[in-house]
Structure 1
Amino acid sequence: MARLNVNPNRMELSRLKKRLVVAKRGHKLLKDKQDALIKAFLERAREGKVLREELEGELAECYKSFLLARAQTLPAMLEQALMISGAKCNLQVGRQNVMSVLVPVYTVEQGGSPVNYGLATSLGSLDVALERFAALIPRLIALAAKEKAINLMAVEIEKTRRRVNALEHVLIPSFVETIRYITMKLDEQERSTLSRLMKIKEIVRSH
């Protein structure tokens, strides 16, 4: 591991030791954050998988109902029935802090009725299909929020992992190597100084 390019003196040694303590503390905090993020990520991923599978099954049933209604209705009548919707959907977006990751929280308010046409000119199968689609909207939005949160957390986990690896495999080892190098240099200087003092003392005694 390459050491840092610094002057081998006691002041630099003291400064590096303090930086090493801070780096180790930061590494531990980031490691704990990474572990907590991964745990939260896996929980949300499992919940998202279950919700997606449920919604895919229910959407398939909704499409079957709609295909049945379309097969039983003239295209012009179907187009006229679906031209203007009476249903309204108000979406409010919030944010929730999950381990320093701001994940979206969507609140849905539905109003009106998806059935906004004359009942005498349409079949009941179309009413059923539209009502089933409308009932799925809150859960679809909840799935979108959950999957967006999963993506954001995955990005944050990757960033945190890179920082942890940089501290663990680059910065901390370079501090340790530099401290060892400075300590060896200072020991050499101390031995050299002691040797010179002993020689000076011998010269003084001989005179």
Structure 2
Amino acid sequence: MPAINVNPTRMELTRLKGRLRTAVRGHKLLKDKRDELMKQFLDVVRENRALRKRVEERLNQAYGSFTVAAAIMSPEMLEQSLMYPKRRVEVGMTFQNIMSVEVPRYQFRTAGTEGEANACPYGLAATSGELDDAVEHLSGVFIDMLRLAEIEKTSQLLASEIEKTRRRVNALEYVKIPQMEEAIKYISMKLDENERSSTIRLMKVKDMLLKEAIEEKRAADAKVMETFGAQGEV
């Protein structure tokens, strides 16, 4: 008996064969999708590794410069220097479709520095040069940090989609398709068995009809012979 309950009829056999063709085609498409997702995921992971290393190095430089500036300048002067920023930052977000996965894409824009020779929010005469280096390093690393957040979110979404696709591929390959093949085999065997039984019954009926016809012919011949015998005696 198959793992699923089926009626051994030709209509059910046709329906199962159609479902099997669809399942096999879907299995191939899902495998192709899984392979392409894995390729995209590996590319994202490699980019993430390199970008994270660069961001950490630049953040370490910025923190080092800021630590030196904090050691040279007084806390009040440092706080006053960074109290009123000149730059206005805008972050926009759109989505990109990667193999039916909507991944975020961030846009980083700054405003408020056009036409200004000094983009720092303080005067250069009263501050330390290390503070200038720290602000410059931080300003340069913002875009990389935003790109890193975008890539890490993309890798999470792709990993989740890969896992779901892998489960679907395994379900089709090891459960659904074998069950349908087993059911088709079972129905085919039952139909063949029923056809053989019907053929045997027809042969038996044919033999019975033939035997009856032979007996009727013998009876008719005997009756004819009796008739001719009676006329000869007369």
Same fold (TM over 0.5): yes
In the alignment, structure 2 segments of 5+ residues that lack a partner are 114-118, 213-234
Q: Look up the equivalent residue of 1:162 and give its one-letter code.
A: R
Q: Considering only CA atoms, is the larger Rg found in Structure 1 or Structure 2?
A: 2
Identity of aligned residues (%): 50
> 1:119 is paired with a residue of what secondary structure?
coil
SS in 2 for 1:6: coil
Which residue is 2:35 aligned to?
35
Alignment of 1:54-133 (within 5 A): 54-112=54-112, 115-133=120-138
Give the drift of 1:83: 2.0
User: 1:191 corresponds to which letter in structure 2?
Assistant: R
Deviation at residue 82 of structure 1 after TM alignment: 1.9
Q: Which amino acid aligns with 1:133?
A: L
Between the aligned partners of 2:3 and 2:182, the Cα distance in structure 1 is: 6
The yes-or-no answer on 1:172 pairing with 2:180 is: no
- Paired position in structure 2 for 1:200: 205
- The separation in 2 between residues aligned to 1:65 and 1:119, in whole angstroms, is 16
C-alpha separation between the residues in 1 aligned to 2:147 and 2:88? 17
Q: Label 1:112 to 1:135 Cα distance change in 2 as closer, same or farther (>3 A).
A: farther
Aligned to 1:46: 46
C-alpha distance in 2 between matches for 1:3 and 1:201: 39
Deviation (angstroms), 1:2: 4.7
Could you tell me how far apart the structure 1 residues matched to 2:199 and 2:10 are?
Answer: 17
Q: Is the 8 A contact 2:2 2:186 kept in 1?
A: no
Q: Deviations over 1:154-203 (max 9, x none)?
A: 11111111111111111111110000000000011011111111111122
SS of residue in 2 equivalent to 1:84:
coil
- Give the whole-Å Cα distance in 2 for the aligned partners of 1:84 and 1:123: 17
Rounded Cα–Cα distance in structure 2 between residues aligned with 1:119 and 1:54: 28
How far did 1:81 drift?
Answer: 1.7
Q: CA RMSD in A?
A: 1.4
Moved more, 81-90 or 160-169: 81-90
**Offset, 1:84:** 2.2
Matching of residue 190 in structure 1 with residue 195 in structure 2? yes
Q: How many angstroms does 1:37 deviate by?
A: 0.5
Unaligned runs of 5+ in 1: none
Partner of 2:4: 4
In 2, the alpha carbon distance for the partners of 1:58 and 1:124 equals 17
Instruction: Tell me, in whole angstroms, the C-alpha distance in 2 between the residues paired with 1:39 and 1:128.
Output: 39
Q: Distance in 2 between matches of 1:18 and 1:188?
A: 23
The residue number in structure 1 matching 2:165 is 160
State how far apart, in whole Å, the 1-side matches of 2:128 and 2:75 are.
13
Instruction: Give the residue type in structure 1 aligned to 2:65.
Output: S
Structure 1 residue 71, shift from structure 2 partner? 0.6
